[in-house]
Structure 1
């Protein structure tokens, strides 16, 4: 007997756990599996509705009493670098970029460990071993690339970004970089370079993940002009991040069943033809 995957994605909700961004709050995620021959179409569709990819799972915050986490993307055509961002570009202008297939290496993992130990020693990924790291990089059912940045003078690996190529942009799934060059602003440089990557490819957006007003960890994303956030079912330009008030009211989110019902899915039957 032949078994096939369901054409309509099945959505699930995680159990509540402490929020890593806002103290005293609990987070919960709505998620679905990303698999099958229509994985790319599903990823494109849900990414445009605020979802993010982690290996073969797509997820979106769906907290019971808070809606502060907002999916963020940069409108490439509307982006203009600030003075400080131009300095960052000059400082790292000699770095060499190389795009490779999503394949994990020992050099990548060594840099990843140094980055975590320096920047996120108490984070959720702190205990990730080499096998889990390889899974994060390699387990992708869609078109993904590993973007490596090297110092041409030493040939040392300076930064890495796991990047998905979407129909309307590039999605920065996860990036890490050497902690030895704090003045260079390498995290911001990798975003700035991805704006160039999207522009070179004729793609309109760079997807950054989530921006959380009030969270210092996520504050840097609001410093990019042309930023849009997914709010109330549509993408909206973020005009003044300083005056933006996160929605933390207990009735912020719709019930799960209503959220799922409002998700627009690609026509799986049509894409199979």
Structure 2
């Protein structure tokens, strides 16, 4: 029997949708008191759940199915010309995977990113407590992937959870002044290459939302699979 059968779930009241204006959303949460193991987390990830701190959630809206879980099929991924340019432009950047930790350097980058890129969102204003409660977890195998330039300056951090079948991309924050480096794209490309080297088949990218401009970027990483009707299916390339 799957461990999922032992879980309890709770749904929130309707609230303003973070992605689609004038829409109401409902979120399904795993019981916060449940004992989460790495194996259980992996099962939940494969059916579309995501992590925010210690909380596991999935959209559960009656009248809208716009938020669709997405993952990159690593073995068949080939970077596009624009993505190869991003890799070439950042050839001197070094990446180190570290255990989750709070440092002033990491927090200052996170705070600057939230203030300049998400000043109108529900994550503003950033706080130290928010940094820890959002990015870290007491039960996940989490890594901070730190991207540094040749002079050692921290440019970006990709927060990932290591799963048996890949990486779950939790969140990425980066220097908002360095738009020419396309650091968000670089972070995804690095995760795909890391999984390829480790023999892991997938990078889980969260939710693809066709009607939300900020979330459509995921379709640039083909082949992309979407969880539709409880089955992972390929998104046709455009």
TM > 0.5 between the two?
A: yes
* TM-score normalised per structure 2: 0.94
How do 1:23-42 residues align onto structure 2 when only pairs under 5 Å count? Answer: 23-33=21-31, 38-42=36-40
1:193 maps to 190
- Of residues 173, 176, 189, the one that matches 2:170 is 173
Inter-partner Cα distance in structure 1 for 2:97 and 2:189: 16
- Of residues 44, 47, 60, the one that matches 2:45 is 47
Inter-partner Cα distance in structure 2 for 1:35 and 1:196: 36
Unpaired stretches in structure 2, ≥5 consecutive residues = none
2:149 maps to 151
Larger of the two Rg values belongs to structure = 1
2:179 maps to 182
Greater CA drift, 203-212 or 30-39: 30-39
Paired residues, number: 235
- Of residues 68, 72, 75, the one that matches 2:73 is 75
Unpaired stretches in structure 1, ≥5 consecutive residues = 1-6, 242-273
- Of residues 100, 123, 129, the one that matches 2:127 is 129
Cα distance per residue 1:33-77 (max 9 Å; x no partner): 467765211110010011111111111110121001001100001
Query: Which segments of structure 1 move beyond 4 Å, counting only runs of 4 or more?
Result: 34-38
Change (3 A) 1:200 1:130: same
Structure 1 contact 34–141 (Cα < 8 Å) conserved: no
1:220 CA drift (Å): 0.8
Cα distance per residue 1:5-60 (max 9 Å; x no partner): xx811100012111121121111111104677652111100100111111111111
How do 1:111-260 residues align onto structure 2 when only pairs under 5 Å count? Answer: 111-153=109-151, 155-240=152-237
1:13 maps to 11
Inter-partner Cα distance in structure 2 for 1:191 and 1:30: 27
Higher RCO, 1 vs 2 (CA within 8 Å, ≥6 residues apart): 1
1:267 maps to none
SS at match of 1:58: strand
Structure 1 contact 148–157 (Cα < 8 Å) conserved: yes
1:108 maps to 106
- Alignment root-mean-square deviation, CA: 1.7
SS at match of 2:71: strand
Structure 2 contact 71–204 (Cα < 8 Å) conserved: yes
- Of residues 60, 84, 88, the one that matches 1:90 is 88
SS at match of 2:6: coil
Inter-partner Cα distance in structure 2 for 1:69 and 1:63: 9
